[in-house]
Chains A and B, each alone.
Chain A
Amino acid sequence: MKRLIFFRLLQAIPTMWVIATLTFFMTRFAPGGPFDAEKAIPEEIKIKMEAHFGLDRPLLEQYFIYLHNLLQGDLGPSFKYPEWEVSELIATAFPVSLTLGTFSFIIALIIGIPGGMIAALRQNTWMDYLPMSLSMIGVCLPTFVLGPLLIFALSNQLAIFPPLGWYRPSDWVLPSLTLGLFYGAYITRLTRAGMLEALQQDFIRTARAKGASSWRILTQHAARGGLLPVVTFLGPAFAGLISGSFVIESIFFIPGLGKFFVTAAFNRDYTMVLGTVLFYASLIITLNLVVDLLQAWLDPKSRQSR
């Protein structure tokens, strides 16, 4: 176990370096700069502004300065909002995305896992077709349609939840639901497939021969094996959820991380792009590792082989 963690972290270092390098040069080669604006500023002022951020130096030198700062944990100030450090912006936005992501994740699990289990247990009955059709609709409905629909129904018509903002716990409901339903639809499908496979295993027959009830078979015997593929999906999904969603954040006016991902690219906010990308990459790497550990916990066989 410790070896696994150690080697994965060791692999993470070159991975992060490649990501940082590629992103650095990609952003620099994209047309337009951070200081382009419609009311074009005079050339000499632009040069001075670039000098403020060290953009007047040769590109390679900038790159090494960036790497040097990065090694010291300094992501630099945002080009778009120079009063703020990139790390500061991420630090304020991430808790919001984390909360939203976690709630959506819980909702997705609450919907997806029982839904998929029931569908698998009652395969080819209406208890299978109904959740499966709903999940298909969930996959079809993009969040930018589902979000306004939920707002229309639960906020405008029934006035149960606030339509936007991120101030009180009741604000959390609609965005979490919108994201959660979408992911829940995916999880339902994965759970059903995984459980169907698990229910065909020989050891399920053993459990039946012992006199175990359907419920016991489902929860005690089939669940661990059946949920393994779901767990594999959950890692990247959770990383995606807690790193924010631009669409959800725009629809519900939430100060999360997703907005930075998109606007930083549009603003050519070089440091912010790099900061968010590296942050996301480290989330992915960490969560993939967590998934592997979780799988090892769920699957005793893989514990030994590593």
Chain B
Amino acid sequence: MPLTPNLPKNPRMNHLNIQNLKVNFHSREGIVQAVDKINLTIHAGEVIGLVGESGSGKSVTCSSILQLLPSPPARIESGKIQWSGIDLLRQNDQTMQRIRGKEISMIFQDPMSCLNPYIPILDQVAEPLVIHQICDTKLAKEKAREMLLEVGVQRILDHPNAYPHEFSGGMRQRAMIAMALITEPSLLLADEPTTALDVTVQAKVLSILKNLCEKLSTSILFVSHDLGLVAELADRVVVMYRGKVVEQNDTHSIFTHPKHPYVQALIACRPTLDVSEERLPTVEDFIHSGETRTPVPLKSSEPNPTSDQKNLIEARDLIVEFKTDQGVIRAVDKVSLSIKSGQTHGLVGESGSGKTTLGRTLLNLINKTSGEIWLNQEKVSGSGRKYNLGFRKSMQIIFQDPYASLNPRLTIEQTLIEPMIVHQIGKSQNERLDRVISLLEEVGLGAEHLTRYPHQFSGGQRQRICVARALTTEPQFIVCDECVSAMDVSVQAQVLNLLKSLQVNRNLTYLFISHDLGVVKFMSDEISVMQNGCIVETGSAEDIYQNPQTGYTKQLIDSIPAANRSASPIV
């Protein structure tokens, strides 16, 4: 779908001009430059995509416009942000309160934590009108209802007093959009507004945002780490890297002629659906940063002979039910699944489809209601010490959020050595330490990281630690539960490459769970699509993409941003 650039209707009116903005974070460890003298202009009616990996300073830039940076530790060192003839950085709180939410609105990434859980949605959406005294409370609620209907939150008709938790993620994000646009602001700052959403939902939310802003002729600063996503929407793309703007151009030019190596890397490292690769290119391939060393190279890149392998893990008629006040909910409904040794089985589906429950049930982290699980032709049963030391040793899991799944009070050394002590791997403490160091090197870290705490690592590094931890018990089977979903594309590529190389080196078997079809396809030999607790389709990765059998699978494929579907640049 070709994009016709929205030309500025009135370039003199209400344009935002960031000049030489410099923001530092002052902490006990020292001063960190978050934004380093950037310049950025947004014209009226224009949609700007601000792209970069986490820590690149894109969100900080976005937050500084409304003076929403947490201070301390953030400090704006220099620069100007011109808006309607005033410098936003020099305004007092009262003035800013008049601008926030009325002239400039903002949407945030996580619609769950960013909506107040204690206040009904309708009231929250109406609140900007009340705060800015545009109309009285009653009228504001009426307008809020209309706005919610406009963004597609039909539920508000039946549940006028619903609270955020009663809505799905997509609905909440729609409500956020309604809340931000209800005052018809001149500029909308959207900070990763769809990152936490499923692909299918992401597509819908994006189109609503686009249409509504066009209707209200609102300019957008769209912040995201996903270049493909930005391409759907933006007239112009600004790429930030390490606090600096590295490239700025119209969307088409960025994709066709990326100049800066980082931008080239960003475009290259997305797993796409139409090309099968053994290894994804990473940013390091383009810029040598020295931050992460290259993992131990692959032993062989020969694909595994699949046909004659035995089933490593097998699930038969698995049923998992949860008791709630509303009655019994069946999260996994008679699922049968088998994975051959050394292969990767991908599991895709929207959130709530039961794929996470299935993964955890295989590891007995959730009790199954009925059905059987077989590992190496042996029925998995029992509990307690025997089970812990037996089956658990051979089956491991890597979680979505590497931060939440690492104990914040244990050093990396403690985290990695403990499983070896429990499972009596290694004869002496020294031997174990050696193993830990070699594991760390295998995942691309080093001995110098041993004494650090999880919070001292970046997201990608943390996930590497989680991978290392899963490997400590030398398992045969690993469940990767959305393990790259929360990552920037560039980091995602590194972790995916790591997982692939480990599989080859250690003959691992994966169950790879994700909502991102592109990622699943890159990783998997076979793919199952899950919907409402059932597996609706299973087949080889290529078949599923080329020839989807169910409408649901088609829908999943169609929701992927065009730029991410194919490796070739969009025209």
Contacts and interface: CB of A to CB of B under 8 A. Distances in A.
Most buried by B among A205, A299, A306: A205
Contacts of B127: 207, 210, 212
Interface in B93-119: 93, 96-102, 105-106, 108, 110, 113-119
B325 A3 contact: yes
A202 B108 contact: yes
B179 A203 contact: no
Nearest to A298: B118
A216 B128 CA distance: 12
Contacts of B132: 211
Contacts of B93: 214
A301 B132 CA distance: 29
B77 interface: no
Contacts of A300: 117-118, 163, 165-166
Contact of A211 (B97, B114, B163): B97
B97 A220 contact: no
Contacts of A212: 97, 101, 127, 131
B118 A299 contact: yes
B68 interface: yes
A213 interface: yes
A162 interface: no
A72 interface: no
Contacts of B325: 3, 304-306
Contact of A221 (B106, B108, B116): B116
B100 A206 contact: no
B113 A203 contact: yes
A211 B118 contact: no
A225 interface: yes
Contacts of B115: 203, 206
Contact of B113 (A201, A208, A211, A298): A201
A299 B117 contact: yes
Interface in B62-78: 66, 68
A10 interface: no
B110 A210 contact: no
Contacts of B100: 208-211
A210 B188 CA distance: 12
Name, among B68, B99, B110, B118, the residue most crowded by chain A CB atoms within 10 Å (CB to CB): B118
- Overall SS of chain A's interface: helix
Contacts of A301: 117, 163, 165
B185 to A, nearest CB: 10
B304 to A, nearest CB: 44
Nearest to A3: B325
**How many B residues are at the interface, by size bracket?**
20 to 34
Contacts of B131: 210-213, 216
A205 B101 CA distance: 12
Contact of B119 (A3, A205, A208, A221): A221
Nearest to B165: A301
B524 to A, nearest CB: 34
Contact of B108 (A206, A213, A220, A306): A206
Contacts of A298: 118
Contacts of A205: 68, 108, 114
B66 A209 contact: yes
Contacts of B101: 209-212
A224 interface: yes
Contacts of A214: 93
B97 A213 contact: yes
A206 B116 contact: yes
A203 B98 CA distance: 19
Nearest to B163: A300
B109 to A, nearest CB: 9
Interface in B113-147: 113-119, 127-128, 131-132
Contacts of A3: 325
Contacts of B96: 211
Interface in B162-217: 163, 165-166, 176, 179
Nearest to A225: B118
Nearest to B162: A300
A299 B118 CA distance: 6
A225 B105 CA distance: 24
A202 B102 CA distance: 20
A209 B128 CA distance: 9
Contacts of A225: 116-118
A56 to B, nearest CB: 53
Most buried by A among B113, B115, B127: B127
The listed residue with most B CB atoms (<10 A of its CB), out of A203, A216, A304, is A203
Interface string A267-283: 00000000000000000
A205 to B, nearest CB: 6
Given A201-B113, A300-B165, A211 B108 contact: no
A224 B128 contact: no
B107 to A, nearest CB: 9
Contacts of A210: 100-101, 105, 127-128, 131, 179
Contacts of A208: 66, 68, 100
Nearest to B66: A209
A220 B119 contact: yes
Interface in A205-254: 205-214, 216, 220-221, 224-225
B117 A202 contact: no
A301 B114 CA distance: 15
Nearest to A201: B113
B118 A209 contact: no
Contacts of A224: 118-119
Given A206-B108, A209-B100, A211-B102, A304 B114 contact: no
A116 to B, nearest CB: 18
Given A3-B325, A301-B163, A203 B99 contact: no
Interface in A1-36: 3
A202 B118 contact: no
A208 B108 CA distance: 12
A198 to B, nearest CB: 10
A269 B100 CA distance: 68
B114 A203 contact: yes
Contacts of B102: 211
Contacts of B179: 210
A121 B96 CA distance: 19
Given A220-B119, A306-B325, A209 B166 contact: no
A201 B114 CA distance: 8
B146 to A, nearest CB: 18
A157 B114 CA distance: 55
A85 to B, nearest CB: 43
Given A301-B163, A306-B325, A209 B113 contact: no
Contacts of A203: 113-117
Nearest to B100: A211
A299 B166 CA distance: 13
A67 B99 CA distance: 70
Interface in B391-406: none
A90 B128 CA distance: 54
Contacts of A206: 106, 108, 114-116, 176
A3 B325 CA distance: 9
A32 to B, nearest CB: 51
20 contacts: A3-B325, A202-B110, A203-B114, A203-B115, A206-B106, A206-B108, A206-B114, A207-B116, A209-B101, A210-B100, A210-B101, A210-B105, A211-B101, A211-B102, A212-B131, A221-B116, A225-B116, A300-B163, A300-B165, A306-B325
Given A202-B110, A206-B176, A211-B128, 17 more contacts: A202-B113, A202-B114, A203-B115, A205-B108, A206-B108, A207-B116, A209-B108, A210-B101, A210-B127, A210-B131, A211-B100, A211-B102, A212-B101, A214-B93, A216-B131, A300-B163, A300-B166
The 8 A-B residue pairs whose C-beta atoms are closest, nearest first, are A211-B101, A210-B101, A211-B100, A224-B118, A202-B113, A300-B163, A209-B106, A203-B116
